[in-house]
Amino acid sequence: MITTIKAALRRVSLAAVILPLTGAIMIANIVLVTQRAHAAQLTSRSLSVSSSANGTITTGNPGSGSNGQKAAHTATFTLGTSGATVGSIAIFYCDSPIPQTSCTTPTGLTAANLTSATVSGQTGSFSLDTTTTDPTVTGYGTCNGGGTVRTNCVLVKAASGQVQTGTPTVTITYGGGASNYITNPSADNQTFYARIVVFSDTAYTTVVDAGSVASSTAQQIDITAKVQETLNFSVGSTVTAPGTSCTAFSDSGALTLGDVNGVLSFTQAYDAFSYFRVSTNAANGTKVYYSGDTLKSGTNSITAAGTTAVSSAVGSSQFGLGLDSTNASYSFTSLTKTAPYDSADGTITNAGTAKFAFDTASITAPKQVASSSGTITCDTGSVRYIGNVSTTTPPGIYTTTITYLAVPTY
Amino acid sequence: MRRLGFICVLVTTVSVLLVSPVVLPRIAAADTLQQRSLFLSNTAPSASSDEVFNFTYQTAAVIGSVSFEYCDSPLEQVPCVAPGGMDASAATLQDQSGVTGFSMESASANKLIIGRVPAAIAGHWAASYSFGSVVNPSGAPHSFYVRINTYSSSDGSGASIDYGAVVNSTTQSVQISTEVPPILNFCVGQSIPTDCSSADGDVVDLGVLRSSSAATGTSQFLVGTNAQFGLAVTAAGTTMTSGNNVIPALASPTPSAPGTAQFGLNLRANTSPPIGADPTGPGVASPSSQYNIVNRFVFHPNDVIVASSGTTDTRKFTVSYLANVPASQPPGVYTATLTYICTASF
C-alpha cells in the first residue's frame, strides 16, 4: 500500500511543481490522498495559503498574494470518526506527507510568529496553544522551537475533550497579519506538506484521525511594461467629436472671418472659431500657447486687441482671440483658461460682454491660453476670434497664421 | 495520474506562452530625468523652430555631455528611427541654465550632443537648454519624441547616467483670412445727430426773405472712407430760383450783405450771421478753401466743397446757407435743390 501511495504521490508532486505557474489558488488546494494504519482518515482535506510566494518576498501587504513572508494558512478537513471526542489538533509542516517517515521542516518555513488561530466548524472552543511543551507524536513528527515560537507546527486545543456531533468540517486559520503570520518556505516552487493530526485529549497523545495535505511555493512572474510619454495635440477649424479615442482634428485649419463672403464691416463685429484638442499622460501638467501676428494685408494691419481683455469695439480696427466656454464643442475637464484669454463668452456687439486680447509679441514669445496641473484625458478648447474694422482700415485681403503649442511636463 | 501529469505540463506551457510576450527587457540602470518638457516655438510641420528642453538631473555624478536624440519612440529599448524630415544638423545652442558650461559637441539630422569639461554635480539639479534652427518633422501633424541621456564623458560616449524622454507634436496652424472692403461712409440730412443711421430730413426752409436781414439755414453731411487716395464732395445744383426770377449766387467768398441779392454757403461756424458749425469728428477731410472762411459765403455749382487726400475717418460737416434779397426782389417761392456727391479714390 505504501509503495503504491508513494508512486502516486510522485506524480502528484510533479503536478504540484508544474501547476504553480498557472495560479496559486490551484496549487494551494491540491489535496493528497494518504492513508494511515492506526487512525481514521480525515477527508476533504486542504491547505489554503494566502500567498504562494516564497518566504523572502514581501512585495505586498501581509496576508496578500505577494507576501510570502507574512502569509496566512487555512487548513480545512472533515473528521473521519463520527461522534469522536476532540481535545487538540496538531499540524506538522514536513517535507513529506507520509506518516511513519521523518518530518523535516521545509527550509525557511516557520510558524514562530503566530500569535493566534481561529478554529471553526467543530463543537467546543479551540485556540492556539502556546503553553504546551513541544510534543512528539509518534509517526507524525516533533514540534520544535519552544512553546511560543514553534517553527514547524501549529497546535490548537480546547480546555478539555469535546464530543463532536457526526463528522464536522473543521477550519483552522492562522497568520496573515503584520505581527501574526506564518512564513512560507524560502525557495520558489518548493512543495511542502502539512500532517494534520486530531487527538481526543488535550495533551496530543491519543490520535483519533489524521491526514496530510500538500502545498507549494511558486515562482513569482515579474511582468514589466512601460507606458511611454504621450501627447495627442491637434488643431482645426472644423469640429469633430472626440469619441472614445480623443480623435484628433485633421482639417486644413483654414478659417474665414467676416460675413458669408469673409468681409468685415465697420458697422458690425464678426467672429469665428478654431479648436484645439489635447490628451497627455504628463503628470506635471501641460500648458497651451498661441503664437502669431495680427491680421495683415501687405503693410496694412488690423489693430491687435492688446494684452488686456477688451470688449468688441464696432467701427474700430480690432483683432483678438479668447476661449469661449459656451461653445458647444468646448470641453475642459483638466485644463483651465488663462487670463486675459479666459472671457470670450457672450456678445460681440459694441461693448458686448465677450472680451478678447491679442499680443503680437507672441510671434517670438508664445502666450499661454490654458494650462493643467496634471494629466489630460481629452480636452477640447474653442478659440473665438473677433474682427472689427474702422472706416479707415485700408481695403484688402487680410490674413494671419496662428500656431498653437502644447508643452507637457513629464 | 499520467494523464493528469500530461495535462499539467500542457497547462504550464500554455501559461508561459501567454505571459511571455508582455515581458519587456529590463531598463538599464540609469535614473529617470524628472520634470521633463520640450517647448517648441513653432509647431508647424517642417518649420524651423527654437526648442527649449527643461529637465532635472537626478543622479549626483560627473556630467560631461548630454545627448538629445529625435525618434519615433521614446523607449530606449526600441531602435531609434528618426522622424521624417527632422533636421537638427544646423541647430545652435542658444542658452543654458542650471548645469552649464556646455557647447555644441555635434549635431546631426536627429541627434544633438552638447559637451563640456566633465565636472561633478549634486543630484536633483534643474536645467534648461535652448536650441535654435531645428527643423520640425515634415508631413501630417504628428507626435515625435526626444530621448535625453546624460554622460560623464564630454562627447556622449559611455554609459548613460540619467535618461528621460519628452514628446511634442507638430500641429496644423489656423490660417485666418478676411477681407476689408472699400468703404465710403457718406450720408446727407437736414440733421445728423450721431452717425448715418440718425440722418434725418431733406428740406431746409430759409423762411421769408427780407431786405433788412439775412435768411439762413443749415444741413449736414457725414463722410469717411478707407480710400487710399482720398475723397471729394461736390455740391451740384443751382442757385435759388422762382420761375424766371433768380437770386444770384456769390461768385467769390463774400460777407453777408442784407438788401443785396446773394445766395451762398460755407462750412464754418459763422458769427455774421450767427449760423453754422465747424466740422467735427476724427476724420481729416476738410472744407475747400473758398468754403472754409468764417462769415464768407460762396456758391459755384459742382464745386468740390470738402476733400481729403487719403483715408479719413468719419467727419461731420454743417453747411450754412445764406440768402439776401433787395427790396426789389420779385416775390415768389424760391427754391434750390443741391445734390452732394462724394467720390472716393481707392
What ipTM did this prediction achieve?
Answer: 0.77
Could you tell me the three cell numbers for A253? 485649419
Q: Which residues of B touch A398 (CB under 8 A)?
A: 177-180
Q: How is residue A272 written as a grid cell?
A: 469665428
Contacts of A348 (CB under 8 A, 6+ apart): A269, A270, A271, A312, A354, A386
Looking up cell 504562494, which residue turns up? A52
Taking an 8 Å cut-off on Cβ atoms, the answer to whether A392 and B312 are in contact is yes
Inter-chain CB proximity A403 and B176 less than 8 Å: no
Whether A401 and chain B come into contact, CB under 8 Å, resolves to: yes
Q: What is the mean pLDDT of residues B276-300?
A: 97
For residue A235, the model assigns a pLDDT of: 96
Burial B162-178 (b: 16+ CB within 10 A, else e): bbbbbbbbbbbbbbbbb
Rg (CA), chain B: 43
Return the SS3 of B243: coil
- What nine digits make up the cell of A101? 517517515
Biggest alpha carbon–alpha carbon distance for chain A: 115
pTM of the model: 0.70
C-alpha–C-alpha distance, residues A234 and B171, integer Å? 6
Higher pLDDT, B317 or B9: B317
Q: Is residue B198 within 8 angstroms of chain A, CB to CB?
A: no
Point out the residue among B140, B164, B169 whose CB comes nearest to the CB of A231: B169
Q: Which grid coordinates are listed for B16? A: 508561459
Q: How far is CA A158 from the centre of its chain?
A: 43
Is residue B5 pLDDT above 70, yes or no? no
| B20 contact A CB<8A | no
pLDDT higher than 50, residue A7: no
Instruction: Say if CB A356 and CB A350 are below 8 A apart.
Output: no
Residues A362/A291, Cβ–Cβ less than 8 Å: yes
Per the CB < 8 A criterion, the answer to whether A356 and A301 are in contact is no
Q: Is the predicted pLDDT of residue B346 greater than 50, yes or no?
A: yes
A344 CA: distance to closest CA in chain B (Å): 18
A307 in contact with B, Cβ within 8 Å: no
DSSP readout, B111-149?
A: EEEEEEEEEEE-SSEEEEEEEEEEEPP-SS--EEEEEEE
Lookup: cell for B135: 527643423
Handedness of CA A98, A101, A103, A104 (dihedral sign): negative
Task: Kindly state the helix (H) or strand (E) to which residue B4 belongs, with its residue range.
Answer: helix B2-19
In 3D, which of A154, A42, A30 has the Cα closest to residue A91? A154
**Residue B276 region by backbone torsions, left for phi larger than 0, else alpha for psi between -120 and 50, else beta:** left
pLDDT recorded at residue B333? 95
What are the CA-CA distances from residue B343 to residues B233, B235, B319 (Å)? 6, 12, 18
Q: Note whether A221 contacts B: Cβ–Cβ < 8 A.
A: yes
Using an 8 Å CB-CB cutoff, list chain B residues near A400.
175-176
Instruction: Check residue B90 and give its pLDDT.
Output: 97
pLDDT at A19 over 60: no
- Residues of chain A found within 8 Å of residue B24, distances taken between Cβ atoms: 224-226
In this complex, the residue of B168, B175, B226 whose CB is nearest that of residue A395 is B226
Closest among B296, B307, B298, B292 to B340, alpha carbons compared: B307
Q: Under a CB-based contact definition with an 8 Å cutoff, are residues A256 and A262 in contact?
A: yes
pLDDT digits (tens, 9 = 90+) for A362-385: 999 999 999 999 999 999 999 999
Q: What is the pLDDT of residue B24?
A: 34
Percent of chain B at pLDDT above 90?
88
Query: A12 at the B interface (CB within 8 A)?
Result: yes
Helix, strand counts (H, E) of chain B: 1, 21
Rounded to a whole number, what is the distance in Å from the CA of A171 to chain B's nearest CA? Answer: 28
* β-sheet bridge partners, residue A272: A385
pLDDT at A172 over 70: yes
Range from A224-228, A249-253, B192-196, B265-269 that averages highest in pLDDT: B265-269
Buried-exposed string B101-110: b where 16+ CB fall within 10 A, e elsewhere: ebeebebeeb
Please name the member of A231, A272, A391 whose beta carbon is closest to the beta carbon of B183.
A391
Rg of chain A on CA atoms, in Å? 39
Instruction: Select from B330, B319, B329 the least CA-distant residue to B204.
Output: B319
For the segment A61-109, what is each residue's pLDDT rounded down to a tens digit? 999 999 999 999 999 999 999 999 999 999 999 999 999 999 999 999 9
Taking CB atoms and an 8 Å limit, are A229 and B167 in contact across chains? yes
* Nearest-by-CA chain B residue for A222: B23
What gap in Å lies between CA A49 and CA A119, rounded to an integer? 16
Contact B172 A235 (CB under 8 A): yes
CA distances from A220 to A49, A52, A58, A63, B17 (A): 15, 8, 12, 16, 16
**In the structure, what pLDDT confidence band is assigned to residue A2 with cuts at 50, 70 and 90?**
very low
Buried b (16+ CB within 10 A) or exposed e, B275-306: bbbebebebebbbbebbbbebbbbbbeeebbb
List domains and CATH numbers for chain A: 2-216 (no CATH), 231-408 (2.60.40)
B20-66 pLDDT, tens per residue?
333 333 334 469 999 999 999 999 999 999 999 999 999 999 999 99
Q: What angle do CA B237, B242, B244 make, to 5 degrees?
A: 95
Q: Where does residue B47 rank: exposed (0-12), middle (13-18), buried (19+ CB within 10 A)?
A: middle
Sole residue written with cell 463672403: A261
